[in-house]
Amino acid sequence: MRIHAPRDTVPRAVYLDIHGGGFYLGSAAQGDARNQQLADALGIVVVSVDYRLAPEHPWPAAPDDCETVALWLLDQAEARFGTTRLAIGGFSAGATLAMTTLLRLRDRGVVDSVAGAALQFGTYDLSGLTPAGRLIADEYFIQAYAGHVADRTAPDISPVYGDLRGLPPLVIVVGSLDVLLEDNMALAARVSAAGGDVDLRIYPEARHGFTSRSTGMATAALRDIECWLADRFSSASG
């Protein structure tokens, strides 16, 4: 893990960040600058996780690692950081892993301790069976991450197929030109149908990964995420 504490203030919450990279690329360190900025802007501790990567470590290695860190934070955040407020989020594959982590925490009966989740353009159907999933069915990352699984509709791989009841509030950020737009819209619809609180935000003329670029649209989206998280932390107890 990499831990970014706010400078010159006592933390008021903890945010678990999960990096992207198609489950086979990337590292927690690539988000250092952004995570420190987020820590300072909101007065929170940002914890990022270096989960194991495919194809050397295919599913379920990555969600196992993310769940382990989430459970550690639920157990240790108050003692180590002085707060029980917790949120989770990620971008691209990291958003997928954030969703699978939420489902695992829900099934363990501890998801009520999570104030919310900020999901940036994740992929939620790796089975290739839905119209949205078919758009990326031939992508290498699916084979690397879950090619060994006969049925990729398992919610731990493709969260859109899961029981989506009992989750914390979600904000879903995606660009209008993202190949994953329909996938994100489908997840938002399913969460809403399950009675969940979901805020779907579609940014015009924006492609996959747009929040990592130096553009006005990226700045606006990241600011929107900060404001959403600040509201969640203000309304959470602990």
Structure confidence by residue, pLDDT tens digits, 25-61: 999 999 999 999 999 999 999 999 999 999 999 999 9
Domains by residue range for the chain, with CATH = 2-235 (3.40.50.1820)
User: What's this model's pTM, rounded to 2 decimal places?
Assistant: 0.97
Q: Which helix (H) or strand (E) holds 61?
A: helix 61-81
**Which runs of E-coded beta strand occur in the chain?**
2-4, 14-18, 45-49, 86-91, 114-120, 170-175, 198-203
Q: Which helix (H) or strand (E) holds 223?
A: helix 216-235
For residue 66, how many other CB atoms are within 10 A of its CB?
23
The predicted-structure confidence for 186-223, as pLDDT tens digits, reads as follows 999 999 999 999 999 999 999 999 999 999 999 999 99
120 within 8 A of 91, measured Cβ to Cβ: yes
